[in-house]
Amino acid sequence: MPRPRGKRRPPRKPDPFANIRRNHRIRVPKIRVVGPDGNQVGLMDTKEALAIAQEAGLDLVEVAGQARPPVCRIMDFGKYVYEQQKKAKDSKGSSSKTKEVKFRPRVDVHDFMTKLRRAEEFLDKGNKVKLTLSFRGREMAHTEIGFDTIRRAIADIAHMATPDNEPRLIGRNINVMLTPLPANKRKPKHSHHLVDSEQEEDEDIEDDDAADVEDRVS
């Protein structure tokens, strides 16, 4: 008599953190390092940065792999994964708020800092932030300039957020979504200089899949 077949196990969901390079999986010789406090340490040999992380009982985690050199942060990766999973669980069933900050490829220092301050202000309120860089006309012939600007923004806001994905060119726009760090990990260093004349009115945007973003800084 044939044995009754047991129920098949449902397929495992893919691990969203599996492709994040960390520790010995980071193979490039030099990286730009962000410390556990969110402050930039600077350009370092990867082996040296890994040794510092391990000595502190932490991990070296790549946060902007397409940057040249890649940007890596010293952090407790296990704790980061736990906090992200807890955050996802807590926000399940509720709509997320997403803000957008828009850049141009050749942005001057003042405008760049203004946009960073605005992004930091959004993140400090717990909002996700979409960075968008738009090209016009012949600017599409030099997309590397736009990627450099976005990567610089990611590195300069690493004390407040981590990118959900690598910056991607879609049509004439480079996009990347930033998720704020846990409240006790955020260390604002730009937004406290924001003057009233630079502030803009914004409305909360409720959008589960972060597809329609309305609050923009252009």
Q: Is the pTM of this model over 0.85?
A: no
Q: What percent of the chain has pLDDT over 70?
A: 78
Residue 135 lies in a domain: yes
Burial of 23 (0-12, 13-18, 19+ CB in 10 A): middle
Where in the sequence is the domain holding 122, given as residue range(s)?
A: 95-217
- The pLDDT tens digits of the residues spanning 179-210 come to 999 988 888 887 654 433 344 434 344 443 44
- The pLDDT tens digits of the residues spanning 116-160 come to 999 999 999 999 999 999 999 999 999 999 999 999 999 999 999
Please report the pLDDT score of residue 6 as a whole number.
59
CATH (domain of 174): 3.30.110.10
138-158 b/e with 16+ CB inside 10 Å = b?
ebeeeeeebbebbbbbbbbbb
Residue 145 lies in a domain: yes
User: Which tokens is 197 given?
Assistant: 């004349």
Q: What is the mean pLDDT of residues 49-68?
A: 94
Residue 16 lies in a domain: no
- Compute the distance between CA of residue 33 and CA of residue 197 in angstroms, rounded to an integer: 34
Burial of 190 (0-12, 13-18, 19+ CB in 10 A): buried
Please report the pLDDT score of residue 58 as a whole number.
97
